[in-house]
Amino acid sequence: MVDGPEEVRTAKQLHLPILRAILARDAGTAQQASLQLNDYLVSFALGVATRNARVGRMGAPQY
């Protein structure tokens, strides 16, 4: 799997608030931003697994 331009944009949008909060020493905001990133990553992983299951993919993923 290769990250396309949309995934790269989304990753930037989700990582920047974490980094900004860390620089501002705002633990609460960093925590919330980290949870948002985690929610996205879980959703993305489940989407990939669901698509792979639908097409009957067998074996290890090919990168």
pLDDT digits (tens, 9 = 90+) for 40-57: 999 988 888 887 776 665
Q: Give the pLDDT of residue 5.
A: 87
Distance of alpha carbon 12 from alpha carbon 49, whole angstroms: 23
Q: Residue 5 is encoded by which pair of tokens?
A: 């331009």
The pLDDT value given to residue 51: 77
Q: Out of 4-8, 9-13, 14-18, 34-38, pick the least confident.
A: 4-8
Share above pLDDT 70 across residues of the chain, in percent, rounded to a whole number: 78
Q: Which residues does 2 contact at the CB level (< 8 Å), separation at least 6?
A: 63
